[in-house]
């Protein structure tokens, strides 16, 4: 059996049917230096990409090994997945790790660094592998004191409990290569409330480690840090190496100028330009618009940041969209805001889309594109074809609902921005009068929200 069409890759759903085109290759065993066998299989993972799965077995010493190699190029950005494991079913979620991916369990302050080889496993498999590796380290390392060994045994014991109970911990997969994935979809194909995925631009150091860039500027490490001198009337900033000018380098936003700052590109490491502009949104507040461009590699990024103090209360904004005209309303979504459209059961947790200065239509289209990129896997037991197909159909139906909502001549839905920092905004065309389609509700943040946002309550008696 071969994959559909001319492709030599087999879909995961077809593996259970047997008769797979496995390639057998004689290979040298690295442990006993005798001949073993490597089996290779080209696999097409649903909603992900094509990978090469390899498995080695030595009949002489019994050593086995397996790995996954990507057949695609390194992604444009890094990716970080986080999953709160709450039920035993979460242990069966699929995980693909590239050679550059690290895995963390924050509850134990435990991190498994990049292994240098890919893996195709489950959350349970990751935890079990950590248990095996730590137990081997404790038993074989002679340099550990009794106290250190005891602490590691406690960690091993807790990991074993996590693998059995399937609750009470988080798994974080961080891959600067952007080629790792963690299944964070519910059974109906929609993103679960306990999982998040975010993409981030790589730093120059990450590109050097990935072999995408040469550390040509290493000699600059000994130089004094760059500062910025506001030298021209149009507010343009130029980099200087004179550390003594630091005290004169504070940017002046009072004239609403576009400040241009030379900054190292996170993609190629060469110098690009950051443009920063403070502007006022009527009936809202001042915001900072930040745009970075690199003429060397073409990398671009934009951000929207609030200017001024932190709001004392959180804010929930609900827009009742009733016509296509509402699509053109300006909208600011901060990176701490949660986006909800109840009519299509869409809920995006904070950080999913980052910070945006766009329109109502723009934010919905961005959500549609992000979900199309997010649907890497469908959750299934033993990769049964019927279950995979059903979940794929449910997710496609969900995406079609979003498309119908965007293309409807007379759209009717609610768009909710829930921001605990109150930094989000939807335009009110009736301002300063009340807009009957716009509801704004303020609420007190809980202590847990303040802690997650890094807001420290003033100490009692402070300022006296």
Domain ranges of the chain: 10-70, 78-183, 225-298, 314-453
Q: What is the Rg, in whole angstroms, of the alpha carbon atoms belonging to the chain?
A: 26
C-beta separation of 352 from 190 below 8 A: no
**CA-based end-to-end distance of the chain:** 79
Backbone angles phi, psi at 82, to 5 degrees: -135, 130
Which CATH fold topology does 10-70 show? Answer: N-terminal domain of TfIIb (2.20.25)
Q: How far is CA 64 from CA 58, 146, 303, in A?
A: 6, 32, 48
pLDDT of residue 317: 95
Indicate the fold that domain 314-453 takes in CATH: Jelly Rolls (2.60.120)
Mean pLDDT (10-residue bins), the chain, 464 residues: 41 47 73 80 53 75 69 72 91 86 92 82 90 86 83 91 90 90 76 83 80 54 36 33 36 59 80 81 72 81 72 91 93 90 88 83 88 56 62 81 90 94 90 91 89 66 45
Task: Give the pLDDT score at 20.
Answer: 54
**CA-CA distance, 459 to 46, in Å (whole number)?**
53
CATH superfamily of 78-183: ZPR1, A/B domain (2.60.120.1040)
d(CA 201, CA 267): 7
pLDDT given for residue 321 in this prediction: 95
Task: Output the pLDDT for position 323.
Answer: 93
Cβ-contact 315, 332 below 8 angstroms: no
User: Quick one: DSSP state of residue 246?
Assistant: G
DSSP state of 249: -
- Residue 68 is predicted with a pLDDT of 58
Whether 78-183 and 314-453 share one fold: the answer is: yes
Phi-psi region of 339 (alpha: psi -120 to 50; beta: other; left: phi over 0): beta
Place of tokens 């005209």: 325
CA 205, distance to chain mean position in Å, is: 19
- For residue 454, is it left (φ>0), alpha (ψ between -120 and 50) or beta? left
pLDDT of the residue at 440: 93
Q: For position 285, what pLDDT does the model report?
A: 67
The token pair at 169 is 């911990």
Dihedral Cα 14, 20, 23, 29, nearest 10 deg? 80
Q: Which helix (H) or strand (E) holds 36?
A: strand 35-44
């Amino acid at each position: 059996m071969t994959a559909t069409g001319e492709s030599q890759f087999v879909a995961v759903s077809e593996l259970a049917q047997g008769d797979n085109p496995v390639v057998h290759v004689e290979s040298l065993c690295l442990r006993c230096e005798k001949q073993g066998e490597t089996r290779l299989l080209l696999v097409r993972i649903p909603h992900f990409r094509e990978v090469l799965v390899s498995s080695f077995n030595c009949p002489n010493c019994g050593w086995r090994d397996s790995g996954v190699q990507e057949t695609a190029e390194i992604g444009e950005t890094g990716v970080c997945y986080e999953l709160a494991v709450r039920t035993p079913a979460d242990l069966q979620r699929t995980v693909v790790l590239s050679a550059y991916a690290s895995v963390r369990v924050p509850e134990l302050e435990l991190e498994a660094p990049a292994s240098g080889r890919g893996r195709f496993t489950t959350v349970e498999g990751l935890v079990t592998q950590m248990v095996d590796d730590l137990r081997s380290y404790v038993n074989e390392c002679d340099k550990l004191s009794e106290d250190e060994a005891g602490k590691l045994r406690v960690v091993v014991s807790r990991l074993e409990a996590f693998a059995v109970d399937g609750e009470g911990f988080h798994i974080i997969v961080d891959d600067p290569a952007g080629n790792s994935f963690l299944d964070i979809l519910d059974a109906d194909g929609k993103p679960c409330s306990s999982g998040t995925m975010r993409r981030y631009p790589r730093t120059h150091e990450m590109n050097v480690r990935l072999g995408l860039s040469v550390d040509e500027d290493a000699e600059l490490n000994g130089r004094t840090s760059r500062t910025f001198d506001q030298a021209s009337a149009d507010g343009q900033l130029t980099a200087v190496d004179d550390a003594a000018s630091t005290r004169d380098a504070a940017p002046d936003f009072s004239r609403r100028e576009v400040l241009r700052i030379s900054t190292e590109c996170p993609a190629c490491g060469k110098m690009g330009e950051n443009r920063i502009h403070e502007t006022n949104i009527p009936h809202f507040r001042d915001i900072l618009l930040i745009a970075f461009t690199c003429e060397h590699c073409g990398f671009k990024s934009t951000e929207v940041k609030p200017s001024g103090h932190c709001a004392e209360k959180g804010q929930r904004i609900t827009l009742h969209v009733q016509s296509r005209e509402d699509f053109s309303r300006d909208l600011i979504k901060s990176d701490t805001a949660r986006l909800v459209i109840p009519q299509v059961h869409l809920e995006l947790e904070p950080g999913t889309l980052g910070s945006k200065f766009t329109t109502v239509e723009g934010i919905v289209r961005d959500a549609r594109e992000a979900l199309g990129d997010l649907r890497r896997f469908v959750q299934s037991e033993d990769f049964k074809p019927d279950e995979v197909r059903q979940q794929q159909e449910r997710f496609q139906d969900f995406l079609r609902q979003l498309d119908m909502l965007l293309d409807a001549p007379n759209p009717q839905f609610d768009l909710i921005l829930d921001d605990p920092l109150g930094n989000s905004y939807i335009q009110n065309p009736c301002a300063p009068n009340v807009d009957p389609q716009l509801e704004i509700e303020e609420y007190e943040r809980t202590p847990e929200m303040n802690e997650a946002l890094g807001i420290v309550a003033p100490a009692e008696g402070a300022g006296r």
